Amino acid sequence: MAVDGERGSGRSGTGLWQRESRARHYREQAVKIVLAVCAYASVLTTFGIIFVLIFETIAFFREVSIIEFLTSTTWSAAFANPKFGIIVLISGTLLTTVIAIAVALPVGLLAAIFSSEYASTRLRRWLKPALEILAGVPTIVYGYFALTFVTPFLQGTILPSLTIFNALSAGLVMGVMIIPTITSVSEDAIYAVPRSLREGAYALGATKREVATRIVVPAALSGIVAAVILGISRAVGETMIVAVSAGALAQLDFNPLDPTQTMTAFIVQVASGDTPTGTLVYNTIFAVGMTLFVITLVLNIVSYFFVRRFRETYE
């Protein structure tokens, strides 16, 4: 290009530059349009998801009344005289999620406090990648672990009456899976708490624990709430752990020692069998998927607002 410019300057330098700049201008516009199309593709994904879910869910509700879907207390989609009470699957999801959060919230929050208030920089540099590994383990591996290690371990030690498939093991392992999410998001919130608040408390004679639990945690509360909601959203959408280790028994029962079925596990159960397109059972997984989508969407939005609140407060 530079050579071109020199050659052209012998005759009419400005003209050549203009012509070239027009070609460049068109190329600039073309590149911009191509890049914009790439960006809009991500919006298409969302539209695609909403379109598919709504389309198949409407087909489902042509055959099943929406009142039955929302109020029935039996779920027997795969049987001869099917009943479709989504509450049953939601209760399974709720049960495993509650167990998971009961593990992940205290452990994740205390680990975040350790990492930000207690650990040395060197130790923190070791802890963070380790947590990343924990977050990177495929969920099918956690499922195998819950089924072949955690359940037999619980049976052999404290719960001899535990069935092979149960909500407890699935929930416990899911809790471990969520720890990194809760730790990293609440750690961000804890870091955002200004140093002056801590120093003020120390100046009044507070101990390290008092500063951590009475000053730092309350000040970072909205971020911690966001972390927990994000964790709940992960647990609700988690699939393979429950599909492998919680069983496939859809029932309205909050006993963690019994088998259960979540929304995600139901979708896997139907999809891994041979279900022809267009049948009622095929449409059912989209109706369940729609429910799942709406629940996680609401959770993500709520969490987003909490995150924004702690950012606004201290940044």
Partner 1 sequence: MTQQSDMRAAQKGGSEGRAVFKTSRAVRYALDRLFTGLVFVAAIIGLVVLTVLLVDIAWDGVPRLSWDFITNFSSASPARAGIYPALLGSLWLLLLTAIVSVPLAVGAAVYLEEYANDNWINRLIEVNISNLAGIPSIIYGLLGLGIFVNLLGSITGGRSIISGALTLSLLVLPVIIIATREALRAIPDSVREGGYALGATRWEMIRDHLLPMAVPGALTGTILALSRAIGETAPLIVVGAATFITFAPHSPFDEYSALPIQIFDFISRPQEAFQVNAAAGIVILMIVLLLTNSVAIWLRNKYQRRG
Site residues (CB under 8 A) for partner 1, limited to 90-149? 106-111, 113-115, 117-119, 127, 130-131, 133-134, 136-145, 147-149
In this structure, what are the phi and psi dihedrals at residue 84, rounded to the nearest 5 degrees?
A: -125, 75
Rule CB under 8 A: is residue 171 a binding residue for partner 1?
no
Q: How far is the CB of 71 from partner 1 (least distance, A)?
A: 24
Q: How far is CA 20 from CA 5, 6, 17, 28, 223, in A?
A: 9, 13, 5, 12, 53
Minimum Å distance from CB 206 to partner 1? 9
Please list, in sequence order, all residues whose beta carbon lies within 8 angstroms of the beta carbon of residue 255, skipping any fewer than 6 positions away. Answer: 167
31: contact with partner 1 by CB under 8 A = yes
What's the Cα-to-Cα distance from 247 to each of 17, 142, 146, 168, 251, rounded to whole Å?
72, 15, 12, 11, 11
Smallest gap from residue 81 Cβ to partner 1 (A): 26
**Residue 3 binds to partner 1 (criterion: CB under 8 A):** no
Q: Where would I find the H helices in the chain?
A: 2-63, 66-71, 86-113, 121-136, 139-145, 151-156, 167-191, 195-203, 208-210, 217-219, 221-237, 240-245, 263-272, 280-314
107 vs 281, beta carbon nearer partner 1: 107
- Select 53 or 162, whichever has its Cβ closest to partner 1: 53
Which member of 81, 157, 196, 277 binds partner 1 (CB under 8 A)? 277
Q: Of the ranges 36-44, 83-91, 193-201, 251-259, which one interacts with partner 1 (CB under 8 A)?
A: 36-44
Q: Which of 83-91, 193-201, 220-228, 289-297 is the region at the interface with partner 1 (rule: CB under 8 A)?
A: 289-297
Q: Which is nearer to partner 1, 19 or 209 (CB)?
A: 209
Nearest approach in angstroms of CB 84 to partner 1 is: 17
The tokens for 5 are 């410019």
CB-based contact 88:251 (threshold 8 Å): yes
Our CB check for partner 1 shows the closer of 108 and 171 to be 108
State yes or no: residue 32 binds partner 1 (CB under 8 A).
Answer: yes
- Which residues ranging from 211 to 230 are in contact with partner 1 (CB under 8 A)? 212-213, 230
187 binds partner 1 (CB under 8 A): no
Q: Is 46 one of the binding residues for partner 1 (CB under 8 A)?
A: yes
| DSSP codes, 36-63 | HHHHHHHHHHHHHHHHHHHHHHHHHHHH
* Contacts (CB under 8 A) with partner 1, residues 238-267: 238-240, 243-244, 264, 267
Out of 9, 12, 65, 300, the only residue in the binding site for partner 1 (CB under 8 A) is 300
Q: Would you say how long the chain is, in residues? A: 315
- Closest distance between partner 1 and the C-beta of residue 40, in Å? 7
Bridge partners (DSSP) listed for residue 75: 84
CA distances from 7 to 10, 12, 18, 206 (A): 6, 9, 14, 78
By beta-carbon proximity to partner 1, the closer residue of 85 and 108 is: 108
